[in-house]
Chains A and B, each alone.
Chain A
Amino acid sequence: MTVIEIEGMSKSYKGRHVLTDVSLQVEQGEIFGIAGPNGAGKTTTVECMSGLRERDGGVLRVLGLDPQRDRRELLPRIGVQLQEAALPDALKVGEALKMYASFYDKPADWRKLMDEWGLADRQRSSFASLSGGWKQRLFIALALVGNPEVVFLDELTTGLDPSARRMTWGLVREVRDRGVTVVLVTHFMDEAQALCDRMAIIDQGRVITHGTPGELITQGRTESLEDAYFALTGGQAA
Chain B
Amino acid sequence: MKGITQVVAVELKLIIRDPMSAFFALAFPTIMIWVKLRSGKPLPGGLPSVDANVPMLSIFVIGLATLVILPATLAQYRERRVLKRLLATPASPGMLFGAQWIAHMLMALLGTALLIAIGAIGYDLSAPANPGIVVLAWVLGALSLSGIGFLLGAVVPSGRTATVLGLSVFFPMVFISGAVIPRESMSGSMRAIGDMLPMAPAVQTIRNGWEGHAASPVAMLVMVGICLVTAGVAVKAFRW
* Residues of chain A having any CB pair with chain B under 8 Å: 50-52, 72, 75-76, 78, 80, 82, 84-88, 90-91, 95, 98-100, 102-105, 142, 146
List, in ascending order, chain B residues with CB within 8 A of A146's CB.
Answer: 89-90
CB distance from A78 to the nearest CB of B (A): 8
- A-contacting residues, B1-28, CB 8 Å: 2-3, 6-7, 10, 13-14, 17-18
The 7 closest A-B pairs by CB, nearest first: A102-B3, A85-B81, A102-B6, A90-B17, A103-B91, A86-B80, A80-B88
Complex Cα spacing A87 to B84, Å: 11
- Give the residue among A98, A99, A100 with the most B Cβ atoms within 10 A: A99
- A128 CB to nearest B CB, Å: 11
- 30 A-B residue contacts at CB 8 Å? A50-B88, A52-B84, A52-B88, A72-B90, A75-B88, A75-B90, A80-B88, A82-B84, A82-B85, A84-B81, A85-B82, A85-B85, A86-B81, A86-B82, A87-B82, A88-B14, A90-B17, A90-B18, A95-B13, A99-B3, A99-B6, A99-B7, A99-B10, A100-B89, A102-B2, A103-B3, A103-B89, A103-B91, A104-B89, A142-B85
**Contact B84–A103 (Cβ < 8 Å):** no
Q: Are B81 and A75 in contact (CB under 8 A)?
A: no
- Chain A residue with the shortest CB-CB distance to B11: A88
Interface assignment of B233: CB less than 8 Å from any CB of chain A: no
B117 within 8 A of partner (CB): no
Complex Cα spacing A51 to B91, Å: 13
For chain B, residues 66 to 120, give those with C-beta under 8 angstroms from any C-beta of chain A.
Answer: 76-77, 80-82, 84-85, 87-91
Q: In the complex, what residues of A have CB within 8 A of residue B13's CB?
A: 90, 95
Task: Tell me, in angstroms, the Cα distance from A139 to B200 when the chains sit together.
Answer: 46
Whole-angstrom CA separation of A100 from B10 in the bound complex: 11
- Overall SS of chain A's interface: loop
Q: What separation, in Å, do the CA atoms of A72 and B87 have in the docked complex?
A: 11
Interchain CA distance A52-B240 in the complex, whole Å = 10
Residues A104 and B90 in contact in the complex (CB < 8 Å), given A86-B80, A86-B81 = yes
Given contacts A85-B82, A103-B3, contact A90 B14 (CB under 8 A): yes
Contact of B88 among A51, A84, A86, A99 (CB under 8 A): A51
A99-B7, A103-B2, A103-B91 given; A85·B84 CB < 8 A:
yes
Cα distance A95–B9 when bound, in Å?
10
Among residues of B, the one whose C-beta sits closest to the C-beta of A51 is B88
Closest to B83 in A: A85
CA distance A75 to B90 in the complex (A): 5
Of chain B, the residue at the smallest CB distance from A143 is: B88
Q: Per-position contact with A for B112-150: 1 when CB-CB < 8 Å, else 0?
A: 000000000000000000000000000000000000000
Chain B residues 39-80 with CB under 8 Å of chain A are 76-77, 80
Inter-chain contact A88/B82, CB cutoff 8 Å: yes
Residues in chain A near residue B85, CB distance under 8 A: 80, 82, 85, 87, 142
Residues of B within 8 A of A50 (CB): 88
User: Does A91 contact B90, Cβ atoms closer than 8 Å?
Assistant: no
Min CB gap B10→A, angstroms: 5
* 19 further contact pairs, Cβ within 8 A, besides A75-B88, A80-B85: A50-B88, A52-B87, A52-B88, A75-B89, A78-B88, A84-B81, A85-B80, A85-B82, A86-B80, A86-B82, A87-B85, A88-B76, A88-B82, A90-B17, A98-B6, A99-B7, A102-B3, A104-B89, A105-B2
Chain A residues, Cβ within 8 Å of B89: 75, 100, 103-104, 146
Distance A99 CA – B91 CA, assembled complex (angstroms): 10
Q: How far is the CA of A85 from the CA of B85 in the complex (A)?
A: 7
Give the CA-CA distance A88 to B75 in the complex, in Å.
12
Complex alpha-carbon distance, A80 and B3, angstroms: 19
Across-interface contacts of A142 in B (CB, < 8 A): 85
Q: How far is the CA of A104 from the CA of B13 in the complex (A)?
A: 22
Q: Determine the residue in chain A with the shortest Cβ distance to B3.
A: A102
Q: State the CA gap A17–B140 with chains docked (Å).
A: 47
